[in-house]
Amino acid sequence: MTHPTNTDSSTPTAQDGAATELVVDVGPIAHGGHFVARHEGRVIFVRHGIPGEKVRVRLTDSGESSRFWRADVVDVLEASEDRTRHFWALADSLAAWRKGGPPVGGAELGHITLERQRLLKSEVLAEQLKRLAGVELNVDVELASASEPADGGSGLGWRTRASFGVTPGGRLGMHAHRSDVVIPVHEMPLALPGINELRLWDIDLHGISRVEVAAPANGSRPLVLLAPEEGTDARRLNRILGQLPHEVSVASFDPAGGEVLQLRGRTWVQESAAGHEYRVTGEGFWQIHKDAPDTLVGAVTSFLHDGGYLLPGSAVADLYAGAGLFTAPLADMAGVTGSVLSVEGSPGTSRDARKNLHGEPQVEIVQGRVERVLRQRPRSFDSLVIDPPRAGAGKAVVNQLIESGPRAIAYVSCDPASFARDLGYFQNRGWRLESLRAFDLYPHTHHLETVALLVPAA
């Protein structure tokens, strides 16, 4: 961990009888969207600050026996030149706490200029690579698309997916960070216009615990998923249905079991990327940023093709394949004389991949956990593409990947810590990092996406 800075020597002050406020100097960014400070030797993870600032923070998670505390900035005493007005009052920590409550999550870097956000994300990536893999490398975080303005524009209106809670009063809301508190919302500035235009905040959502929305970047029919509370009957669902625009598909879903039931229209959306059309059902995984699919496909195929690892006749595998975002372009490049194994654990998403790739005879779709499929169907590959969940692939899977004998692996990751850890596992088996790119696919949040090319060291 990067060393924190020392704080002002002020003593804690209690506010409203319970909350404690401190004055601290904000130190470097840490993985997870917070910044490191100290008070009397104790580490405090501070959100909504900028390195170098002097701020007043409100402790949100503390205890004398805790190894560290958590806090939100409530006042800026000495501001960074990179501080800017937050685009969303509900996510602005200063404005929210002035009104007596925490900000909504999901836009924790919105008070920082986009250029500085990318520099901070680059610092996080470099720190994780050094700490977990022993690799000293600084990588610039690129814009999501080459078509974006050089300064990144506003960083708004990019989300094709949005997840909402419901307040006890039946109104659409979002959670505060690390909290069960649901805060009513009347806009979602990071979402595509197609999501905001649904005006879900005007609907009485009594009987619903959660709402998921997918609005494809190609402008095709959006899908609203409603998670009913136990005991919610069909009449209540029909009343909600009647308040939604007729052209919107609506389905109910069970967050625990993943079952999706049609209420109106389709239970899936139609996505477009890399010259292909994709059906994605319910909560099935798809990249959130409107430009992410094309950007990531371009990075992966360029690494593999330019290195001579993906050519006509190649045997390749797409692991954690989802609905087949990478599988389809891999099949294009391997051609009918090649082969592509596509492995996805989710039954529903694997069915989508089967429908999306049904006209590609060189593609084999297998539903199952990656480690089980590799163990039960051992084979050799020229190259692999892996896009694991946030937790990463893990040591056992890394060993299985290497044992399949590929000449190269393209590793797509949404978490620099799990990627760096897995990179260490690869290095321990005699592999090395050949190339690495990073993309700002989540502006105004701490998240970033990386695409790495891994090859045997010898």
Query: Which residues are identified as catalytic?
Result: 414
Q: Phi and psi (nearest 5°) for 226? A: -115, 130
**Strand-pair category, 141-142 with 161-166:** unpaired
Gap between the Cα atoms of 40 and 293, Å rounded: 46
User: CA-to-CA distance for 267 and 264, rounded, in angstroms?
Assistant: 8
**Rounded to an integer, what distance in angstroms lies between the CA atom of residue 357 and that of residue 322?**
12
Q: What letters, b where the CB count within 10 A reaches 16 and e where it falls short, cover 113-139?
A: bbebbbebbbbbbbbbbebbbebeeeb
- Round to whole Å and give the CA distance between 290 and 216: 8
What are the helix (H) ranges across 12-84?
Answer: none
| C-alpha–C-alpha distance, residues 244 and 449, integer Å | 34
With left for phi above 0 and alpha for psi between -120 and 50, is residue 13 left, alpha or beta? beta
SS3 of residue 439 by DSSP: strand
Q: Strands 339-344 and 141-142, how do they pair? A: unpaired
Strand ranges across the sheet with 54-61: 13-15, 19-25, 54-61, 68-78, 42-47, 34-39, 29-30
Q: In this structure, are residues 386 and 302 in contact, taking their beta carbons and an 8 Å threshold?
A: no
Q: Give the tokens for residue 303.
A: 């690494």
> Which residue(s) pair with 72 in the sheet?
47, 58
CA distances from 212 to 161, 166, 260 (A): 7, 11, 12
Question: In terms of C-beta density within 10 A (0-12 exposed, 13-18 middle, 19 or more buried), how is residue 173 classed?
Answer: buried
The residues pairing with 316 across neighbouring beta strands, listed in sequence order, are 340, 383
Residues 6+ apart with CB under 8 A from 42: 68, 69
DSSP letters for 160-207: SEEEEEE-TTS-EEEEBTTSS-EEE-S--TTB-HHHHTT-GGGS--TT
At residue 340, φ and ψ (nearest 5 deg) are -135, 120
